[in-house]
Chains A and B, each alone.
Chain A
Amino acid sequence: MNAPADLPTLQPKDFKSDQEVRWCPGCGDYSILAQVQKIMPEIGVRRENIVFVSGIGCSSRFPYYMNTYGFHSIHGRAPAIATGVKIGNPELDVWVVTGDGDGLSIGGNHLIHTIRRNVGLKILLFDNRIYGLTKGQYSPTSELGKKTKSTPFGSIDHPIHPISVAIGAEVTFVARTVDVDVKHMQGVLKRAAEHKGTAFVQIYQDCNVYNHKAFEFATDRSVKDEHVLYLEHGKPMIFGKNRDKGIRLNGTTPEVVELGKGVSPDDLLHHDEKCAEPTLAYLLSRMRHPDFPEPMGVFRCVESPSYEDLLMGQIRAATAKLGPGDMDALFNDGDTWNVD
């Protein structure tokens, strides 16, 4: 993104509103808020052109804490409202904050259609695999068998996998990060900010009240290197504390292999986020703990015209062909007659 030449130099604190943050102490949302505020001065957009739109849920209080334009809307509809903001004024930099319940359950339909249209929105999905604001029911990303307030005998719903769904809807940018890995998150958020079209980011976020340590495998320093695969474009997929394991393709199925003993990095899958075909990204989205290390970073980043570019392109083309609309000509279109 080309920053305007006279962009004022702002600090993260300039993006903090005067409102008291009211998430539970220890909630992963605090870190996400801090990282978003951290990168805001660096994305090359004037503060007055930034809009945060959210739905309903703990994460959706987010806009109140940002000193930008903000809209805390209704349950599940944030992507649809944000689409309207973008249609009304494509110049705005529009971010959507949603959660696993808001974005994938009640708002699942809007999420899919926003992604397939490639509307230029940055969608941050705070995924804590639980309903927090309504006090602890299972969510669409809760694992099968999970015992919660509304599933005392264990959930019988199979979970939805947000990145797989996004790829199914032909997402042009999709990434994953985790709340406590602040540097990684900042990197991912900056990449999302640069993307034209829909940028969808799943953020693993700890709900320390209703689903504490749901992502311990990816956050506990003593084990996370064994359970997380950091994606790097063009690089072989190597992981492990000693960087001694990798992902190899066996037929059409990925497998974990140890390096050495006849396996070299060249034998491993190499990440290609720019691949036009989303097959590799989809395969990565299927790699789940504990059978696989879970990929972190950018799964897919491809160029495709955004919805608002196509929309404004049609308007420009029609105006070039027909001239700017003349109201009197419009009124008098078709058969007319005079009464004296």
Chain B
Amino acid sequence: MSTATAGGQKRNGKSVRELDSAAVRFVGDSGDGMQLAGTQFTNTSAVFGNDVSTLPDFPAEIRAPAGTIAGVSGFQINFSNHDIHTPGDKVDALIAMNPASLKANVGDLEDGGILVVNVDEFTKQNLAKAKYTNNPLEDGSLKNFRVFEVPITRQTVDAVKQAGVGAKDAERCKNFYALGLIFWLYDRPLDVTLRWINDKFSKKPEIAAANTLAIQAGFNFGETAEMFPVRYRVNRAKLDPGKYRNITGNQATALGLITAARLAGKTLVYGTYPITPASDILHELSMRKNFDVRTYQAEDEIAAFAAVVGAAYSGALAVTASSGPGIALKQEGVGLAVMTELPCLIVNVQRGGPSTGLPTKTEQADLWQAILGRNGECPLPVIAAQSPADCFWTVIEATRWAFKYMTPVFVLTDGFLANGSEPWRIPAYASIEKITVRHASDAATFQPYLRDKNGARPWAVPGTPGLEHRVGGLEKADVTGNVSYDADNHHKMVGLRAQKVANIVHEIPPQPIDGPDSGDVLLVSWGGTYGAVRTAGQRARAKGRKVSHVHLRHMNPFPANLGEIVHRFKHVLVCELNMGQLLLLLRGRYAVEAVGLNKVQGRPFMIREITAKIDEVLGAK
């Protein structure tokens, strides 16, 4: 939703209107390069100094049948002159490269919004593939929008002629033409993308030339054609001072892991198996061999985690990442890590489930899997990232816990965080607190299961003289670690393992509340829904409602003061992209009469959905 600020100006005979923010979505066939166009628009906006929040949305198929709804790929970006938390509910501008993408997305365009269509693709055949009976450009169905019909394909092919590329390559430049046009429309500079093109295609100068010509042609079309009376401008956001870069959740996770290893003075061993939407963490890490990052692409999910357990035993920072179905396969190994009390991280980039589910769509339905999904009494700490850049800090925090408490730690992110991006204020490495690691070394006092004051057993790594000992999945006797089938010992060990995880509550600061300490409605959320729920809470308060918001990061153990907080509000509304997983945990733990706002559509919350639910809970009209 664009919001206009007062004032405006004229440039090149065209008026420039200033906006506080704008949401733009590029949509097309999955071969049309929409993800690339969206990413470039994001980077330019970020470098320009806007706050940004993005939502890529693409099909699970690499190439679904061209021109069909199934093959539609989109990328939404919200950019603003102030702090924003979401990619936006509805979009102010939609760039549709073909009929199918128009059909699938036009419902999200604001009334009066800008609709740029590639008119060349609105052929009889393509309209039929999109199952349009009438041409929407002609039947009046788009009358609520400002429609701009641009012959993008034809103009692109004409523009890139002089680069001397083949017909197919020429047509493939049309995403850059569209991008150039939208850059013009929102008064953005081209230089960031031009630099990217030159780097990316440095070995294919003719492709670099073609894409450069295409983006310039799109930009110039906006400038010279009599089509667009106004262009828009969104000024720099007043972010905290510092140096920034744009970062996705998966990139932040990878950087966080490298950082955690360095802070702890450890080698990072990353054992994994390719799975959507977690694979980009592997891609990012596998480039970083000069940081002594040892990536291991195993034969399956089970082996990937087994190697992590082995690497943890050997003394490394051992990490895996996967998504729901892969995590399910790893859980036996996670149980082993709990039993042997070895430190490691399991990152679950959640996606729509159950089973294969919706691989490229987001969901939060693996909370129970993380907390409860193993055989036996098998507790472990669980922590959830709240934004793309926050994934960096989340994995560092998880590493601190793993080493201090000798435990596997679950880290929950999701597809929305993993692929979405936002500006990240770059920290100075030296400013980040080191991670303490203690290894046993004294043979005279060593006992494999003699616990410290935190409840952690010692980490004695192979290669240490005199500490030769055995670990394993069988229950172990307290202190000595010898195999034990003793009834009382088992009861005691179950308790000690649980107490150790419970002790982590001392690491967790009191749960902050956004808004007053008590009131009518407490919104509770966790993980990637932070932005939408936070904004909904703020808007409700702006309307005079007594609504506060608690966003959980620590899912197990919960912050110590959480139970007290939830009882101070008349209504507790738990907003989750699942059918009520946190809700059940809160009810069970605190006997609170909470209700849920639940959505499983493979998409993030829209702010207005939460606003509507708040009104419903309050009985307001």
Contacts and interface: CB of A to CB of B under 8 A. Distances in A.
Interface of A: 17, 19, 46-51, 53, 56, 63-64, 66-74, 77, 80-89, 91-92, 109-110, 112-113, 311, 314-315, 317-319, 321-325, 327-328, 330-340
Contacts of B234: none
B314 interface: yes
Range class of the B interface residue count: 35 or more
B374 interface: no
Contact of A84 (B47, B306, B340): B306
A335 to B, nearest CB: 5
A81 B426 contact: no
A237 B192 CA distance: 72
22 contacts: A49-B463, A63-B470, A64-B483, A72-B473, A84-B269, A84-B311, A85-B313, A85-B314, A88-B269, A88-B294, A88-B312, A88-B314, A109-B303, A314-B289, A321-B290, A322-B290, A327-B262, A328-B429, A336-B243, A338-B243, A339-B49, A339-B242
A48 B309 contact: no
**Residue among B311, B340, B427 having the largest count of chain A Cβ atoms under 10 Å:** B311
B442 to A, nearest CB: 14
B328 interface: no
Contact of B462 (A48, A319, A328): A48
Interface of B: 43, 46-49, 192, 195, 236-246, 255, 258-259, 262, 267, 269, 271, 288-292, 294, 296, 298-300, 302-303, 306-316, 318, 332-333, 335-336, 340, 426-429, 461-474, 482-483
> Secondary structure of the B side of the interface?
mixed
B378 to A, nearest CB: 13
B262 A47 contact: no
Contacts of B238: 339
Contacts, number: 219
A315 B294 contact: yes
Contact of A70 (B244, B312, B469): B469
A340 B241 contact: yes
Contacts of A72: 470-474
Nearest to B266: A88
Contacts of A328: 428-429
Contact of A318 (B192, B262, B289, B474): B289
B289 A80 contact: no
A319 B245 contact: no
A77 B333 CA distance: 9
B258 A335 contact: no
A69 B465 CA distance: 10
Closest 4 CB pairs of A and B: A84-B310, A72-B472, A88-B314, A84-B307
Nearest to A22: B483
A20 to B, nearest CB: 10
Nearest to B43: A335
B255 A69 contact: no
Contacts of A333: 245
Contact of A339 (B239, B306, B340): B239
B243 A337 contact: yes
A112 B303 CA distance: 12
A73 B307 CA distance: 11
Contacts of A64: 470, 472, 483
Contacts of A56: 473
Contacts of A315: 289-290, 292, 294
Contacts of A331: 245, 255, 426-427, 429
B46 A332 contact: no
Contacts of B468: 47-48, 67-70
Nearest to B258: A330
A335 B288 contact: no
Given A48-B462, A73-B472, A87-B311, 20 more contacts: A17-B470, A53-B310, A64-B470, A64-B483, A70-B472, A71-B313, A72-B471, A73-B309, A73-B336, A84-B271, A88-B269, A92-B463, A110-B302, A314-B289, A331-B426, A332-B245, A333-B245, A335-B43, A335-B195, A336-B245
Contacts of B463: 48-49, 89, 91-92
Given A84-B314, A319-B290, A19 B462 contact: no
A84 B314 CA distance: 8
A87 B303 contact: no
A74 B333 CA distance: 8
Contacts of B245: 331-337
